[in-house]
Amino acid sequence: MAVEVVMPKLGMAMKEGVVSEWNKGVGDSVEKGELIASINSEKIEMDIESPAEGTLLNIAVPEGQGVPPGTVICYIGNTNEKIVTKESDIQINKVEKEQTEISNTSEPSSLPISKTNDRVKISPVARKIAQAANLDISKIQGTGPGGRITKEDVQEAIKKLESEPLIKQERTISPQASVEKRKEMSVTGMRKVIAARMKDSLQNSAQLTITLKADVTDLIQLQKQSAKIIQTDDENKITITDFIAKAVVLSLQEHPQMNSAYIDETIHLFESVHLGIAVALEKGLVVPVIRNAEACTVRQLAKKGKELAKRAREGQLPSEEMTGSTFTISNLGSYGVEHFTPILNTPETGILGVGAAYDAPVYIGEELKRRTLLPLSLTFDHRVLDGAPASAFFRTVKRYLEQPLTMLL
């Protein structure tokens, strides 16, 4: 009996998963544990391995389509084995068929457009390259097993097309297509969620950003001294970002109005600090949360932050550990950015943007000295608090950074 491969549930809050890429095609042999597809949810991406050895009999969910967790996405069994397709799969295939029919009735182009032909054996990667180049795959001679079209076959076809005389190309390319070449990408998975949340954040809050610079010369010296004492490897390394996190936590305790959220016309003030640290991924952004950060030392903040960031980049962080933050820090300093305008992670009241530190001449009394300055940007919700209390919080953060020993007392 054919084995059903279902869309996994990547966290309690997951409502939909998207097949981002099929690594195997119908009719391909697969080994148990072999990678067959890649999927993504709102905040997590992961690879799907085959649960059994056999042949990929049917792909029930095409690339780019979102389905609820538990939905069958493909079947694996013996060659020529008949499968019983579920009603949900029939609906998915019906939608795919209707989309294909709509595309086939669109205005014809003089470009050779790739045909939807399931009888043409072609690898998923080769199909993507062919579609991007507007190649008719039925005219490509496959050199793979059983005449299957490989990536190399498509690349060779593109080279031949590019080497044709200019006059012949002008005959096959429409005037509109020759003006501009572009590639369209469907907004799905993590990018779709980020797009919706950023738009919602700007439309449903009164955001204002203020900036200042903190003299972190003494902080850098403290960080270097701590490195000599406790740093044994990268995992135990305490960075400037860890000290910034501690300064923010202490400042939030002194200014509780910033450690809040605006929900349903009500301001919620939180006793505990659940600190979100933005982590950039290859295809998006996530915000792991250090819970009860007020109870952590600088070293504990560093350890927890690195563990969460590592798991986030590996796609092993459940959605529960990326929700519930009361304040967020976003650091673009490694990209050379100084000041920027971070967007609120609503319903939070504030988010701190950290820029790239730089050296500058600064007067200390009557003497001009070389100091290291750190650009900071604070975005806050003006519905919750005004500029004066927000600036007071910001000034407290600056004080802790410029007097780093006070963070350790």
- 382 assigned to active site: yes
In 3D, which of 215, 226, 251 has the Cα closest to residue 357?
215
In 3D, which of 3, 149, 170 has the Cα closest to residue 73?
3
In 3D, which of 126, 159, 131 has the Cα closest to residue 143?
126
Q: How far apart are CA 202 and CA 206, in angstroms?
A: 8
Q: Cβ of 406: how many Cβ atoms within 10 Å?
A: 12
Which residues are 328's β-sheet partners?
Answer: 276, 351
> For residue 207, which phi and psi values (nearest 5 degrees)?
-90, 135
180-209 in b/e form (b: 16+ CB < 10 A) is: eeeeeeeebbbbbbbeebeeebeeebebeb
Of the CA atoms within 13 Å of residue 125, those in its CB half-sphere come to: 10
- 234 assigned to active site: no
Of residues 47, 200, 359, 386, which has the active-site annotation? 386
Of residues 47, 200, 359, 382, which has the active-site annotation? 382
Residues known to be catalytic = 382, 386
